[in-house]
Amino acid sequence: MALFDKASQIVQSVGENVAGVGNALVTATIDQKELAGLKIQLDTVAKSLDVYYAQIGKRYAAYIKECRTEAFDVNDIFEQMQPALEQKANIEAKIAEKEQAIKNAEAERVKQKAKDEYDKTRSRLETALTMDIITVEEYQQKLEAARKKYDHFEILRKIDMQYKMQIITKEEYEEKKKAVLET
């Protein structure tokens, strides 16, 4: 009966994790759509500013052509540009916030995945221990190895990315990974 209860707990845990991942994906998709919309808005504002910049350029070309001696003045154009410049700054700030939120969500998703892997390993080890498949010492050793992998998941993820990007060789990859897991 204890084995059945344990299996029920594992199934429930997996279901909760799948629901959590599903919610994270929906949130990420919404954030991506909002970011795309903001970038379109930024592009539109930038194009409207191009008209003002062209006016400044034309005025400067006329100023040089006529060899004027008074100061070059475009304050009237800058005043007209001000709302668009403020709007551009606001959109850029929103884009930066949204990109940071997406980055944070991705980091949280990766961290949750690492935790799920640790929990799954711990659960398998507990089951093996209760069924007398492994000893308490083996359980503790393997759980400690899984814990180190979870504790250093960010470093290990970066090492994996270095290898996938062919920045390091297979040997360097193995050495770095071993060094992290032995600390």
Note the pLDDT tens digit of each residue in 69-96.
Answer: 888 888 999 999 999 999 999 999 999 9
Query: pTM of the entire structure?
Result: 0.60
pLDDT reported for residue 18: 44
CA-only gyration radius of the chain, Å:
29
Burial class (CB in 10 A: 0-12, 13-18, 19+), 10: middle
Q: How would you write the chain as a 3-class SS string?
A: CHHHHHHHHHHHHHHHHHHHHHHHHHHHHHHHHHHHHHHHHHHHHHHHHHHHHHHHHHHHHHHHHCCCCCCCCCHHHHHHHHHHHHHHHHHHHHHHHHHHHHHHHHHHHHHHHHHHHHHHHHHHHHHHHHCCCCCHHHHHHHHHHHHHHHHCHHHHHHHHHHHHCCCCCHHHHHHHHHHHHHC
The pLDDT tens digits of the residues spanning 8-56 come to 454 455 444 544 445 555 666 888 899 999 999 999 999 999 999 999 9
Task: Decide if 163 contacts 130 (C-beta within 8 A).
Answer: no
Q: What are phi and psi of 165, to 5 degrees?
A: -85, 5
